[in-house]
Amino acid sequence: MNVNITFRHMDHTPALDQMIREKSEKFAKWFGTTTNVHWTCWMDGAEHCSEVSINSGHEKYFAKAHADDLYKTFDLIIQKIQNQMQ
């Protein structure tokens, strides 16, 4: 699985990088190891935002989330992608 991470208007810390990679492991289980995942995280005022774009063969998924904590956005995105698969 190929995971790309982009941060805008915020620091790219090792803890955030590790958390995103751990959350992305769910995508590998769902879509296989040939999956390309691109996360983008940014601040919009005091609000934390993130989005993910997933390409796996012919399947493409996208989700975006906003919350008061960046870590919450990761869980919201996982839930949104899981809902799209159903």
**CATH number for the domain that contains residue 31:** 3.30.160.100
Dig out the tokens for 53 from the structure.
């774009």
Q: How many residues does the chain have?
A: 86
- pLDDT, one tens digit per residue, over 54-84 is 999 889 999 999 999 999 999 999 999 999 9
Strand partners, 76: none
pTM for the model stands at 0.92
- pLDDT, one tens digit per residue, over 8-42 is 989 889 999 999 999 999 998 999 888 999 999 99
Domains of the chain: total: 1
Report the distance separating Cα 84 and Cα 12, nearest Å.
28
CB 71 within 8 A of CB 19: yes
pLDDT at 74: 97
- The candidate with the shortest Cα–Cα distance to 78, out of 51, 59, 55, is 51
Residue ranges making up the domain that contains 75: 2-85
